Structure 1
Amino acid sequence: MLFNSLHFLVFFPIVIGLYYGLPPRWRNLLLLLASYYFYMSWRAAYAILLLATTLLDYYSGYRMSQLPTKRARRPWLYLSLASNLGTLFIFKYFNFFRDAALQLAEALHLPHAAVPAFGLLLPVGVSFYTFQSVGYIVDVYQGRLEAERNFGRFALFVAFFPQLVAGPIERGGHMLPQFRRRHKFDYARIVSGLRLMAWGLFKKVVVADRLALLVNPVFNNPRQHPEGPLLVLATLAFTFQIYGDFSGYTDLARGAARVLGFDFNLNFRQPYQSASVPEFWRRWHISLSSWFRDYLYIPLGGSRVAPLRAYGNLLAVFLISGLWHGANWTFLVWGGLHGLYLVLSTWARPAREWLAQRTGLAAHPGLRRGLGVGITFVLVAYAWIFFRANSLSDALFISRHLFSGWQLSGRAVGTLLLDFSQHYRPELAVAAFGVGLMLLVEYFGSRRSPQAWVMAQPFVLRWVGYLSLTLLILYLGIFNSTSFIYFQF
């Protein structure tokens, strides 16, 4: 069931009505049943794996809570990690590593057995709920969190439908206490949640799905469009498509949870306003980047070790982050690029400060930040090529041809772009409008809470805005139940 589908449009109001109509003691059970129904609407068999993960991690956490030392708790930690990460490996990575091992053996002329590939369908959202459950287990093991004794409450923590299939990846310490509270009907809160959902839907169906009509023809057939201007246009379009798609999903998830009385952590904070790649990762997919920081980077030693080892830790974390996104060399290269960006950013910090002093940029912080934002945007956009490309060869082809065709006159380049977009001119105009509005709203939102700004407006003006946004969605949105990009992870 997609947030941008008719199915969800019927499902969600029914859940809201039942939730606030039932006595508080039955509400968590309703949400649990609704969450499993939501998940099983893709494929009923998925629920078996979700339930198995829930049962094992609930029992592992419960047993660890009865043991006084980390040493005694360690076998249960290992059991949980082996089960969760093993499940991810079998469903998501086995065929990738099998193919890589066979190719290596053939290249080195080594004898090898014919290992059959697994024909398993990747369960929707398995990477998200697995990481959420692993985070809970590690927190219990470390003593940072008391194990949840109520099985239904823990099952709801793992399966809560607003963030089940694409995050945000929540922590047990943040969500479990919320499932213990009794949430009263709050009109202002519900309106706030619905407003956030409407904004997320706008970013998905007006911005992301319109941009996809320009992105897909180029990235799916790059050799038919080898001209640099078209490749740059498609890369820029995807840069905003993936942001509109994923941050739109997050807004929908946070808004749906808010309507029901729950708060999710912020997952995006105007990432394309970042003046460096480290800042970008403090603003982009915050729940995942903080998960890798707390559960992988810091345990590896973080930055508290020798510089070379710290750089190795960064590269390792981002290579693993790339693989988390998908079992494909393109994702591995995308993660490696960001790891390299971070290593170079850390290593070159003294040189950047020296250069800023020598050039006078240090005395102009606004200009310096603007330059940093531009450079960071270019680096991030380039890395998105590998994220979106269907294969590594396609990504390398696009990279090699980004600068071809620019020797044409400005008139010729304009004609080339117009010829390409002749079938997409309405989409191009709508997408440009949508991106402009999205960036404008989020630019002002970075200086003041959008919610506070909206509520400070007169009642009539607020509702004119709500109606305008609704009409934009209805008239400019694409409603063909296009899946969210991050559902594939």
Structure 2
Amino acid sequence: MNKLIGEKVKSRLIWLTLASFFFYGWWDWRFLFLIIFSGLVDYFAALMMQKHPKRKKLFFILSVVANIGSLSLFKYSGFIARNIDLLFGLEGNLMLSTHVSDFFLITPVGISFYTFQSMSYTFDVYREKLKPTKSVIHFFAYLSMFPQLVAGPIVRAKEMLPQMLKVTPISKTERWAGFQLIVRGYFKKMVIADNLAPLVVAAFSSPELNSSGMYWWGVMIAFAFQIYCDFAGYSDIARGLAKWMGYDFPDNFKHPYISISLQEFWTRWHISLSTWFRDYFYIPLGGNRKGKIRTHINLWITMLVSGLWHGAAWTFVAWSAVHSFFLSFEKITHWPQRISKVALLRPLVWFLVSAQVLLAWVFFRATSIDQAWEIVQRMVLFTGDNYLGWGLNGSIFITLMFLRELSVGLKLEERIQQVPAWLEMTFYAFVIVVIIFFRGDGSEFIYFQF
């Protein structure tokens, strides 16, 4: 019987690996060699750490260098090259036929996600929190699992590898839960995010920026819901598919826009990444254990690396700096906790925290630092006419999201008793109809670029 289960597991892992390679190779088969290289380095490094414990630090360093090196080469070479061009005055020099930036490489889709996922494996083996698998198929089935391969959530090896050694029947409850997640994910992406995308794209791609500060607050609210529904929608679909396969992926979003502190926001937004940086970067740096000044330094370094993880641009560096400043100010003053003690003032705290998040999103979305500063100035000074510029479609979908987040904040869902099964199925049938007839123009998932 055990042998039979073992054969089932092996066949399942082989099929999963091949299907995942086909899925990733459909975009560009050449980049399969990159994920195979990264995987083999970590697979053998983990085995060597176990076989030669006295040299495990050496093999761990080799793993980190190989992963960060390949990530830097493919993701940051263009950014570095462009800055070399600017530093040495090569940009715009008509006498030079070739610039350094002409040699930058294409960024493979999802490279940041699977690189960090692979690194979690060697980190945990090095810290002796996980025993390495001796099956290369087992490891690659984990690393390349197609539902979350290109945009997360980042699944830890210690959470996923044990699950993959079991073949258990999928219950009706799990199938229904997976279906709900998938439908909700498609609704978030196709109905909310894709309908808000044209409004945001038009605002940031206009040759002349709109002079209205209120307009830009409206645009950033639209972008905040667009990126949330785009990314959370993908995560929901991935989690739903995983449930149909008999696996559990971690929840990647927990309604971040109801947060009443920026620290809380980061416990609700892109949870798999924020906890990755906390466990494998911030805490090893010393976390908050080495004094107040060192705590802030570690915070700023972690946020800087997080910003660069998102992309090779100064706008992402600025985005991380804005969050770092607000987080440090929050840690020093504890202003959200102090004001929130008065129940009537909690909406004010939520409003101020939301404003901080929206201002930071400007740098994340802007095409340049100059554009971001111009927009922020208009928002802070409330220049120009007072109109949001959402239009009918934007107003409808943004209102839907406001009501959704408000219902979560007021815990209305918890107060509603269990509805009959027929009513629940009717509701999801209605949602599917809405997805079909009210979907926006298709657009690529935002986090594919990372």
TM-score strictly above 0.5: yes
The 8 Å contact of residues 220 and 389 in structure 1, kept in 2 or not, is answered as no
CA shift in 2, pair 1:436/1:301, >3 Å: closer
- Residue of structure 2 in register with 1:225 after alignment: 210
The 1:116/1:97 distance shift into structure 2, 3 A limit, reads closer
TM-score (norm 1): 0.84
**Could you tell me which of 376, 384, 406 is aligned with 1:399?**
376
2-structure distance, mates of 1:442, 1:34: 37
In structure 1, the partner of 2:79 is 96
Q: CA deviation at 1:394?
A: 1.1
**Structure 1 residues 198 and 63, CA, compared in 2 at 3 Å: closer, same or farther?**
same
Selected match of 1:80 from 43, 58, 63: 63
How far 1:370 moved relative to its partner?
2.5
- 1:484 aligns with 445
- Please tell me whether residue 327 in structure 1 is matched to residue 312 in structure 2: yes
Please give the alpha-carbon distance, in whole angstroms, between the structure 1 residues aligned to 2:330 and 2:368. 28
Offset of residue 251 of structure 1: 0.6
Q: State the partner residue of 2:13.
A: 28
Partner of 2:95: none
- 1:432 partnered with 2:398: yes
SS at match of 2:162: helix
- Rate the CA distance shift 1:202–1:352 in 2: closer, same or farther, 3 A: closer
**Does residue 369 of the first structure (1) align with residue 346 of the second (2)?**
yes
**Letter of the aligned partner of 1:374 in structure 2?**
F
Alpha-carbon RMSD across the aligned residues, in angstroms, is 2.4
The change in CA–CA distance for 1:434 and 1:338 in structure 2 (over 3 A counts) is: same
Extract unaligned runs of 5+ from structure 2: 1-6, 91-97
- Per the alignment, do residues 313 and 286 of structure 1 end up closer, same or farther by CA in structure 2, a change over 3 Å counting? same
**1:123 counterpart residue number:** 108
Do the aligned residues in 1 keep the contact of 2:213 with 2:379 (CA within 8 Å)? Answer: yes
- What is the aligned partner in structure 2 of residue 296 from structure 1? 281
**Amino acid of the residue matched to residue 472 of structure 1?**
V
Deviation at 1:106, TM superposition (A): 5.1
Against the structure 1 CA distance between its residues 251 and 446, is the aligned structure 2 distance closer, same or farther, given a 3 Å change threshold?
A: farther
* In structure 1, distance between residues paired with 2:223 and 2:358: 8
User: Which residue number corresponds to residue 16 of structure 1?
Assistant: none
Note if contact 1:203-1:438 (Cα within 8 Å) is conserved in structure 2: no
Map of 1:199 onto structure 2: 184
Instruction: Tell me, in whole angstroms, the C-alpha distance in 2 between the residues paired with 1:405 and 1:344.
Output: 24
1:197–1:252 contact (8 Å) kept in structure 2? yes
Q: Is the 8 A contact 1:222 1:394 kept in 2?
A: no
**Kept after mapping to 2: 8 A contact 1:203/1:434:** no
Equivalences for 1:7-406 in 2 at 5 Å? 23-69=8-54, 72-105=55-88, 115=100, 117-221=102-206, 223-349=208-334, 356=339, 362=341, 364=342, 366-403=343-380
- Shift of the 478–287 alpha-carbon distance from structure 1 to 2, 3 Å rule, reads same
- The Cα offsets for residues 61-112 of structure 1, whole Å up to 9 and x where unpaired, read as 111111234xx111211111111100011111122123334434559xxxxx
Change beyond 3 A, Cα 1:352–1:241? closer
**C-alpha contact 1:80 1:137 (8 A) present in aligned 2:** yes
Query: 1:98·1:115 contact (CA, 8 Å) conserved in 2?
Result: yes
SS in 1 for 2:60: helix
- Taking a change above 3 Å as real, the CA distance of residues 176 and 286 of structure 1, as seen in their structure-2 partners, is same
CA gap 1:404/1:276 in 2 versus in 1, 3 angstroms: closer
1:244: how far off? Answer: 0.8
- Name the SS of the counterpart of 1:76 in structure 2: helix
Shift of 1:434: 3.9
1: CA distance between counterparts of 2:102 and 2:45? 31
Bigger CA drift: 47-56 or 91-100? 91-100
Distance of 1:440 and 1:473 partners within structure 2: 22
Structure 1: segments with no counterpart, 5+ residues: 1-21, 108-112
The one-letter code sitting in structure 2 at the alignment partner of 1:435 is: M
Distance 2:411 2:12 in 1: 34
279 and 102 in structure 1: CA distance in 2 versus 1, 3 angstrom threshold = same
**Equivalent residue, structure 2, for 1:110:** none
- The offset of 1:479, in angstroms, is 5.2
1:249-303, Cα deviation, whole Å (9 max, x unpaired): 1111111111111001111111111111111111111111111111111111111
- In structure 2, what is the Cα distance between the partners aligned to 1:474 and 1:332? 39
Separation of aligned partners in 2, 1:433 and 1:372: 21
For 2:444, give the aligned amino acid.
S
Query: Contact 1:210–1:430 (CA<8 Å) still a contact in 2?
Result: no
Q: Which residue of 1 aligns with 2:93?
A: none
Letter in 1 for 2:364: F
Aligned amino acid, residue 252 of structure 1: I
CA contact (8 A) 2:300 2:321 kept: yes
Shift of the alpha carbon at 1:432? 3.1
> Secondary structure at 1:189's aligned position in 2?
helix
Q: Deviations over 1:386-418 (max 9, x none)?
A: 00011111111111222566565xxxx45xx5x
Cα offset, 1:224, TM superposition? 4.0
- Counterpart of 1:345 in 2: which secondary structure? helix
Tell me the number of residue pairs that the alignment of Structure 1 and Structure 2 aligns: 437
How much identity, in percent, do the aligned residues show?
A: 37
Q: Deviation per CA, 1:294-337, whole angstroms, max 9, x where unpaired?
A: 11111111111122121111011101110110000000100111
CA contact 2:16–2:145 (8 Å) conserved in 1: yes
Cα distance in 1 for residues equivalent to 2:406 and 2:66: 45
**Please, which moves more after superposition, 218-227 or 371-380?**
218-227
Counterpart-to-counterpart distance in 2, 1:223 and 1:183: 58
Matched, 1:471 2:448: no
